[in-house]
Amino acid sequence: MTLLRKVFVALVVLGVSIPASPSTARSPERIKDIVRFDDEVMMPLIGTGLVIGLAGTGDGNGFEASIEALVRNLERLGVTVDPNGLRTRNVAMVQITASVRSRARPGDRFDVTVSSIGDAKSLEGGTLLAAALNGVTDGETYAIASGQVSIGGFNVESGANNRVQKNHATVGMVSSGGQVHRSLPGGPRSDHIGLLLNHPDRSTASNVARSINERFPSTARAEDAGFVRVYLPDGWVDDPVGFMAELGEIRAVTDAKARVVVNERTGTIVVGGGVRLREAAVAHGSLNIEIRTRYRVSQPNSFNESGETVVVPDVQTFVNDAEAHVLRLPDTVTVQDIVDVLNGMGASPRDIIAMLQALRAAGSLQAELEVM
């Protein structure tokens, strides 16, 4: 499969639109799909706890924090132990993190993530003991977390450096393991509703406010690229949830800056709609240097008492300097044209990433270039 086909298929799979021209009309989207209501703002919670029941894959005896935490937990249960005589690898200390809606009510459940703090090898099969989750900014306790840890993988060692691992075994999730026990500081609802755009853009914010005002006159105002304030109209003051449901079904035209996103680790390139290349000339070549070291054993002849067996490194260097190709890039206005032009360079995805960075610096690439 050619590079053109690979990149084109990736764009189709990822749902990137390929416009015929910059003036192609965009279809309006439901407001509920492009914004978050102010009661959906997520609040981070954090805490520390113990995962028990591990099959010898927990923290080592040298990690005193887990031992001290286990002793305190046993003392709360009325069990007194000597920390100096406590030896166990079935316990691991973890950091617990979660995100909860700012207007979550007591009793609401949510998922939590646990990450090993010490030198545990795996959290597989462990159970998170009940632990408090606190607000990051105020330190107040808002929720409790506990339950069975799922890591979605395994980490098995059988001695002699034989090891099989699937996924990351020291980070896991407790599904619905968190429970709110105290209302979060969301604040009382006033006479207005805030809409937070998922992708801030001034044109989109203006279009959202205009569409709302067509349905509910003089109620919406775009305050910046990412926030639209909507006042409750007469007749809806006592039913803000119903009004928000009506707002969600209103459609508005979205817009966004032209953007190219590249991932240097995987060589992935995603080109969004509206990206344009101005005329430029590009010379592309590649220099590959490979250094190989092989170790050979030099052994003396039989019955040679003065000789020694030594390991001798054999270093080999290979240099491949490919011929540079010069290509003129014409003005292009569609994603497919850009893919065709880049494919004409005969370059790999990683080479294309380097060229895109150079084209952006030269002012030819008329788009934001985001490198992940």
- Say yes or no: 119 and 244 in one domain: no
Q: CA 263 to CA 20: how far, in whole Å?
A: 26
- 220, part of any domain: yes
pLDDT tens by residue, 108-160: 999 999 999 988 888 888 999 999 999 988 889 999 999 999 887 655 665 55
Residues near 53 by Cβ (< 8 Å), separated by ≥ 6? 90, 125, 126, 127
Q: What is the pLDDT of residue 217?
A: 93
pLDDT tens by residue, 161-186: 555 655 678 899 999 999 999 888 76
Coil/strand/helix, residue 245:
helix
Query: Taking the CA of residue 54 as centre, how many other CA atoms within 13 Å lie in the half-sphere pointing to its CB?
Result: 31
Q: What is the pLDDT of residue 12?
A: 34
- Say yes or no: 242 and 264 in one domain: no
Taking 90 as the threshold, does the pLDDT of residue 251 lie above it? yes
Q: What is the pLDDT of residue 325?
A: 60
Q: CA 270 to CA 261: how far, in whole Å?
A: 5
Which one is predicted more confidently, 268 or 155?
A: 268
How many distinct structural domains can be found in the chain? 4
Taking 90 as the threshold, does the pLDDT of residue 356 lie above it? no
Q: What string of DSSP letters covers 98-152?
A: EEEETT--TT-EEEEEEEE-SS-S--TT-EEEEEEEEETTT--EEEEEEEE-B-S
Q: What is the pLDDT of residue 22?
A: 41
Q: What is the span of the domain harbouring residue 202?
A: 188-252
Burial class (CB in 10 A: 0-12, 13-18, 19+), 10: middle
Q: What is the pLDDT of residue 110?
A: 93
- Say yes or no: 131 and 155 in one domain: yes
- Say yes or no: 332 and 295 in one domain: no
- Say yes or no: 213 and 281 in one domain: no
pLDDT tens by residue, 323-347: 556 666 667 656 566 666 666 666 6
Q: How confident is the model at residue 260 (pLDDT cuts 50, 70, 90)?
A: confident
Q: What is the pLDDT of residue 323?
A: 59
**Amino acid identity, position 79:** V
For the residues 4-12, what does the mean pLDDT come to?
39
Tell me how far apart the 2 most distant CA atoms of the chain are, in Å. 106
- Say yes or no: 281 and 298 in one domain: no
Instruction: Please state the pTM of the whole predicted model.
Output: 0.60
Task: Pick the closest to residue 69 from 95, 49, 97 (CA basis).
Answer: 49
- 141, part of any domain: yes
- Say yes or no: 268 and 361 in one domain: yes
Taking 70 as the threshold, does the pLDDT of residue 305 lie above it? no
**Amino acid identity, position 350:** R
Burial class (CB in 10 A: 0-12, 13-18, 19+), 278: middle
Q: CA 352 to CA 342: how far, in whole Å?
A: 7
- Say yes or no: 277 and 201 in one domain: no
- 24, part of any domain: no
Q: How confident is the model at residue 274 (pLDDT cuts 50, 70, 90)?
A: confident
Which one is predicted more confidently, 258 or 16?
A: 258
163-194 core/surface letters (b: 16 or more CB in 10 A; e: else): eeeeeebbbbbbeebbbbeeebeeeeeeeebb
- Say yes or no: 47 and 9 in one domain: no
- Say yes or no: 9 and 79 in one domain: no
Q: What is the pLDDT of residue 1?
A: 45
SS3 content of the chain, % helix, strand, coil (to 5): 20, 40, 40
Domain stop point among 180, 203, 237: 180
- Say yes or no: 134 and 75 in one domain: yes
- Say yes or no: 164 and 224 in one domain: no
Domain stop point among 162, 180, 198: 180
- 204, part of any domain: yes
Q: What is the pLDDT of residue 318?
A: 59
Which one is predicted more confidently, 243 or 271?
A: 243
- 36, part of any domain: no
- 23, part of any domain: no
Q: What is the pLDDT of residue 3?
A: 43
pLDDT tens by residue, 27-42: 889 999 999 888 777 8
Q: CA 202 to CA 255: how far, in whole Å?
A: 9
Average pLDDT, rounded, for the chain? 77
pLDDT tens by residue, 33-86: 999 888 777 889 999 999 998 888 888 777 778 878 888 888 888 888 777 777
Which neighbouring-strand residues pair with 133? 143
